[in-house]
Amino acid sequence: MQKTILYILGLLVIVIGGFFLLNSYIYNEKRATVVNHYKDAQYLIDGKRIQLVKGQSEIEAGFASKIVTKYFGNEVKHDFNGDGREDVAFLLTQETGGTGIFYYVVAALNTDKGYVGSQALFLGDRISPQTTELGKGNTVVINYADRAFGEDFSVRPSVGKSIWLLLDSETLQFGEVASDFEGEADPALMTLGMKKWTWVSALYNDGQEIKPREKGAFTITFGDKSVFSATTDCNSVGGQYSASKETIAFTQIYATKMYCEGSQESTFTELLGNSAEFHFTSRGELVLDLKFNSGTVIFR
- The larger pLDDT score, comparing residue 180 to residue 168, is at 168
Q: 18 in helix, strand or coil?
A: helix
Q: End-to-end CA distance of the chain: give it in Å, rounded.
A: 82
Q: Tell me the C-alpha distance between 168 and 266, whole Å.
A: 38
What mean pLDDT comes out for the span 135-143?
A: 86
Under the banding of pLDDT at 50, 70 and 90, the label for residue 300 is confident
Give the pLDDT of residue 19: 39
Is residue 272 predicted with pLDDT exceeding 50?
yes
DSSP string, 75-139: EEEE-SSSSSS-EEEEEEEEE-SSS--EEEEEEEEEETTEEEE-B-EEEEES-EEEEEEE-GGG-
**Beta partners for residue 154, in sequence order:** none
Under the banding of pLDDT at 50, 70 and 90, the label for residue 150 is confident
What mean pLDDT comes out for the span 103-117?
A: 94
Q: Do residues 102 and 125 make contact, with C-beta atoms less than 8 angstroms apart?
A: yes
**Mean per-residue pLDDT over the chain, rounded:** 85
What mean pLDDT comes out for the span 99-103?
A: 93
Q: Tell me the C-alpha distance between 26 and 221, whole Å.
A: 56
* Residue 133 amino acid letter: E
Counting residues of the chain whose pLDDT is more than 90, the rounded percentage is 56
Q: 271 in helix, strand or coil?
A: helix
pLDDT digits (tens, 9 = 90+) for 20-50: 333 333 323 333 367 899 999 999 998 899 9
Is residue 64 predicted with pLDDT exceeding 70?
no
Q: Do residues 200 and 220 make contact, with C-beta atoms less than 8 angstroms apart?
A: no
Under the banding of pLDDT at 50, 70 and 90, the label for residue 125 is very high
- The larger pLDDT score, comparing residue 5 to residue 79, is at 79
